[in-house]
Structures are given as C-alpha cells and as structure tokens.
C-alpha cells in the first residue's frame, strides 16, 4: 500500500478532527476544560499529517498544540478564532482531496492563524481567514462568495422584471427566457450550496456542554441527537448555536430532576434530553426536549398575576418565559436563574427571521421548537402597500390575511385588539408606526418570536423570493427595517422587522 492509498482514511480522520475543533469551540465558551480536547485534536492531526508528509499542516498543528498547552484560561476571541481555523482547515482538506497533495497555498492560508498562536492574539482573524473551496480546488473567500450571491440576486431581479414583460415577447424568446430562468435557479442553488454546512458538525461541542453541566449539577443525562445530516446556511447554524446552548442549559438546570427525585417520581434515573433537527421545505426545525419536571403552570400564572396584575391565557403565560428578566427560579445558579436564557433564544431566532414555540406538561418535560430558514440569503417576501408606499415582510412571519370588516376589532382603553374565539391579538397600525397615512383595510396576522399580533395595511401584493440586504451602517438605528430589496420595477423596497412592530404594538395599537 502506498501513501496515496491511505489518503481517503487520512481525510476521513482529519475531517473529524477539523469538525471537532469547531464543536469544541462552542464548548470552550462554557467549559475551559475543552482546551484539553482541542489540544488532543491538534495532536492527532499533527501525527497523521506528518505521516502523510503534509508538512505545513503538521508544523502548524505542532505550533497550535504548544500554544494551547500553555493556556491557563480561554483567551479573548479564541473560540471564534478556532471556528475560523476549522473552516480554513476544512478547505485545506478539500484542496488535498482534489489535488492529492498539500497545495503550496496551504502555508499562506494558515499564516494568519500561525501569527495568532505565536503572538497569543486571537482577535481579528475571524473574518479574514474564512474561505471555501469549489470542486476544482480554487480558493474562494467567503466575501467573494457573498459578492457572487449578491450578483446572482441582482440578476434575479432583472429576471423578475423580464418575467413581467414576457407577454410582449415572441414565443422563441419566451422559451429562451424560461431556459435562462432554470439555469439561473440551478446556478443560485450551486453557489448557495457552498455556504451550507451539516448541523452534525456542532453536535460534539453541544454534547461536551451537556456532559459538563450534568457533572456539575450531579445529574444523569442521556443526550440524543438526530438530523446531523441536515445542511443549513453557515450563518444560520452559527447564529443559533448560542441559543441552543441556552436551551440545553435550561433543560438540564430547570427540566431534568436529580436522579433520586426522578426515581421517586417513577422515572429512569437518567433524564432524556433530545436535540432533533429536520428539514421542512426551505425551513429547518430544531427541537430541544427533555422529560424533566416541565413548567408549573399554576406557579407561572401566580407569578404573572403578581407581575402584570391580570390573568393570562396559556399561550400568553408561556410567552412570558421568553421575556427578558423573567424567571420562575428565584435563586441563581452558575447556569441559570438570572432571567436570561430564553430571551436570548428569542432574540437569536428573531435575528434569523424565524419563530420559536414552547410546549410543556408538568412532570413530563418541555419541548422548545425553533423554526428557522435554511438560508438567510434568499427570503420569500410578502409585499404590502401602506399609504402610497410598498414594504416587504418575511412571508414566514405571515400566518393569515383577512379583511378588517371580517374581523371583530375591539378597543378597550384606547388600544386595539382583534378578537378571535381563543384569544385577543394586539392590532398594530402600520401606517401610524411608519408615519404614513393609511386606511388599514387588510389585517395580517403575524408571528414574531413567540408572539402573534395583527398588522393593519392597505393592500397585500404578490409575494416573491428576494435577497434582503442590510440598509448599511448609516441607518443602523432604523430598527423597524431589517433591510431592503430591489423590486421587479427596480425601485428599492424596505423590508419591515416583525419583531420591531410587535414591540410597538403596545404603544401604537
């Protein structure tokens, strides 16, 4: 057997080490002991790379191992540094696979990380080092990839403009246009695929977090994961990781009981915590569930009465758990009880344009479901007219559309609500929030985070896919908008943030 025959096994093992580094980086934020695991991963990768003759990787791993062995605590920026490094090493492995050798550019790609380890400065490397490889082994920076996607988005805008004019074109031109449309969709999917990652790459780090917390709390936990093969946009995966850590922390701290307590309740001594990931069309559903004590609804109701002076529906009560500063636990532990946790989850989900729901049964556990887009690059938007202006809204946040006349709108104490059989939803006047003159004849029921609310607009227009771009630094204070898109007629369209609107509901309804 020659060295070349061993390449597949080397790559298989090396990729595990590399994805392990990304996973460990999440563990580091909770548990400095994960440094030892990082050192072990570098040590193993050093050995196998040296054996294969991949000297640049080998020497780099030696430097990393040495540097980490001298660390007493996790340096500032190190988890992010490690994630960027994992991404670069992953690209290097792709390059080795396609060329069968260590490319000369490997040393150059690792240079910023070598400087980071040598100077013990781990800040500022995160963005510049991220790169991806296409299948020909060409190096492509993440920024360049985003530029390509942006250009594809612009071509899609032009395509949509043409699509509205096809009735004026000869048949053969229309046929060519449809071929162009198909090819453009395929091109977009291919380029977007370069940004997608397996969710499974993060499982090991989360498992380390669960294991560490269970040990600290004296609890026994059986942690199950499913759906690691689901591929999502790297931005979504990394944007939700802190929230997942919080959910697991809550499951262990508030949910799973001590082994003795569980035994006396007729349960297995080890609590079950499950992280399940599945794909539903262009959405990813992430469920964190436990079979612990669940939420005591009587206590929650009493606490709500104490804090807000009124009785609430079950949905309203459960949504309180996502409010900043709200905690049912009076004492704080190292892990929870400060009223932060689920609000962090909601914020992360809002940022990514998703929603979160919670279900619980006392004594049987709790399930939190995050519903997120697979990618944040292309968003399906619903367009609405408010006064003379057109705005976009993420379609995922729109639950239903009604005529105002078909709904029962009540106005107790100057606030407007839409009354249904089960509940009363705050009605937000979009025109008033945006300072526009509006009749508000159509009512959208929107879901933001955990809260449903209604939004009065003048007209609902056809939906479409669009690449939403941020408004830029100059308008960073414009919280009512998540960004803008170019409409089919070339006019920029502002995309509203449902999370901001629901916050305005109380004041403007």
Partner 1 sequence: MPRFAAFRVGPRTLAIDVDHILGFTREPVWTRLPGARPGVVGICNWRGEVCPLVDMGQLMGVEGSGGPWACVTASGAGMMAILADSVIGLEHGEPTPVDEDVFSGTYAADDGERFVLSLEEVARLCAT
Q: Which of 494, 501, 502, 509 binds partner 1 (CB under 8 A)?
A: 494
Q: Which of 147, 154, 264, 332 binds partner 1 (CB under 8 A)?
A: 154
Q: Which of 43, 161, 323, 469 binds partner 1 (CB under 8 A)?
A: 469
Q: Which of 39, 157, 210, 321 binds partner 1 (CB under 8 A)?
A: 157
Q: Which of 297, 409, 471, 508 binds partner 1 (CB under 8 A)?
A: 471
Position 148 contacts partner 1 (CB under 8 A): no
Q: Rounded to an integer, what distance in angstroms lies between the CA atom of residue 408 and that of residue 410?
A: 6
CB nearer to partner 1: pick between 226 and 508: 508
User: What distances in angstroms separate CA 255 from CA 158, 188, 216, one per listed residue?
Assistant: 52, 43, 15
Q: What is the DSSP letter of 449?
A: B
Q: Nearest approach, Cβ of 474 to partner 1 (angstroms)?
A: 5
Q: Rounded to an integer, what distance in angstroms lies between the CA atom of residue 247 and that of residue 255?
A: 10
Position 159 contacts partner 1 (CB under 8 A): no
Q: Is the dihedral of CA 329, 334, 339, 344 positive or negative?
A: negative
Position 161 contacts partner 1 (CB under 8 A): no
Q: What is the DSSP letter of 469?
A: B
Number of Cβ atoms within 10 Å of the Cβ of 195: 21
Position 436 contacts partner 1 (CB under 8 A): yes
Q: Rounded to an integer, what distance in angstroms lies between the CA atom of residue 336 and that of residue 30?
A: 13
At how many degrees (to 10) do helices 78-99 and 7-28 cross? 170
What track of x and - describes contact with partner 1 for positions 388 through 417 (by CB under 8 A)? -xx---------------------------
Q: Nearest approach, Cβ of 268 to partner 1 (angstroms)?
A: 55
DSSP, collapsed to helix, strand or coil, labels residue 41 as helix
Please, are residues 207 and 34 in contact by the beta-carbon 8 Å criterion?
no
Please, are residues 229 and 198 in contact by the beta-carbon 8 Å criterion?
yes
Position 492 contacts partner 1 (CB under 8 A): yes
Q: Nearest approach, Cβ of 458 to partner 1 (angstroms)?
A: 15
CB nearer to partner 1: pick between 295 and 486: 486
CB nearer to partner 1: pick between 300 and 496: 496
Position 484 contacts partner 1 (CB under 8 A): yes
Q: Where are the alpha helices (DSSP H) in 288-353?
A: 297-308, 314-320, 342-351
- Among the candidate windows 29-37, 88-96, 205-213, 486-494, which touches partner 1 by CB under 8 A? 486-494
Position 166 contacts partner 1 (CB under 8 A): no
């Amino acid at each position: 057997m020659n060295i070349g025959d061993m390449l597949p096994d080397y790559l298989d093992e090396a990729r595990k080490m590399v994805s392990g580094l990304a996973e460990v980086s999440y563990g580091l934020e909770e548990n400095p002991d994960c440094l030892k695991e990082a050192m072990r991963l570098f040590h193993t990768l050093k050995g196998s790379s040296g054996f294969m003759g991949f000297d640049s990787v080998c020497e780099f791993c030696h430097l990393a191992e040495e540097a980490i062995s001298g660390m007493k605590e996790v340096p500032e920026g190190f988890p992010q540094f490690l994630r960027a490094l994992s991404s670069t090493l992953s690209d290097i492995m792709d390059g080795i696979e396609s060329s069968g050798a260590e490319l000369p550019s490997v040393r150059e790609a690792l240079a910023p990380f070598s400087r980071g380890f040598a100077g013990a400065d781990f800040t500022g490397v995160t963005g510049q080092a991220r790169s991806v490889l296409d299948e020909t082994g060409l190096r492509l920076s993440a920024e360049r990839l985003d530029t390509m996607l942006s250009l594809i988005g612009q071509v899609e805008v032009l395509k949509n403009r043409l699509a509205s004019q096809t009735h004026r074109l000869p048949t053969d031109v229309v046929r060519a246009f449809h071929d162009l449309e198909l090819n453009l969709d395929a091109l977009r999917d291919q380029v977007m695929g370069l940004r997608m990652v397996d969710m499974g790459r993060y499982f090991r780090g989360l498992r380390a977090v669960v294991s560490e917390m269970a040990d600290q709390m004296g609890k026994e936990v059986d942690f199950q994961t499913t759906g690691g093969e689901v591929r999502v946009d790297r931005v979504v995966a990394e944007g939700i990781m802190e929230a997942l850590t919080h959910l697991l922390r809550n499951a262990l701290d508030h949910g799973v009981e001590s082994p003795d307590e569980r035994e006396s309740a007729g349960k297995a001594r080890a609590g079950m915590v499950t992280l399940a990931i599945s794909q539903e069309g262009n959405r990813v559903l992430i469920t964190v569930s436990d079979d612990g004590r669940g939420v005591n609804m009587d206590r929650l109701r009493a606490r709500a009465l104490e804090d807000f002076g009124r009785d609430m529906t079950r949905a309203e009560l459960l949504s309180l758990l996502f409010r900043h500063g709200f905690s049912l636990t009076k004492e704080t532990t190292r892990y929870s009880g400060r009223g932060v946790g689920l609000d962090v989850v909601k914020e992360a989900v809002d940022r990514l344009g998703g929603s979160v729901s919670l279900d619980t049964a006392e004594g049987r556990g709790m399930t939190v479901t995050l519903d997120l887009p697979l990618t944040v690059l292309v968003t399906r938007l619903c367009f609405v007219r408010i006064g003379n202006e057109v705005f976009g809204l993420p379609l995922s946040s729109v639950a239903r559309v009604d005529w105002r006349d078909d709904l029962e709108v009540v106005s107790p104490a100057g606030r407007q609500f839409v009354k249904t059989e089960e509940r009363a939803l705050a009605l937000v006047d979009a025109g008033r929030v945006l300072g526009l003159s509006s009749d508000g004849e159509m009512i959208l029921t929107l879901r933001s985070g955990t809260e449903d609310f209604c939004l009065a607009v003048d007209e609902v227009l056809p939906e479409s896919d669009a690449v939403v771009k941020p408004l830029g630094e100059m308008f960073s204070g414009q919280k009512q908008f998540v960004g803008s898109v170019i409409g089919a007629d070339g006019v920029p369209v502002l995309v509203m943030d449902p999370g901001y609107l629901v916050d305005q509901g109380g004041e403007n309804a």
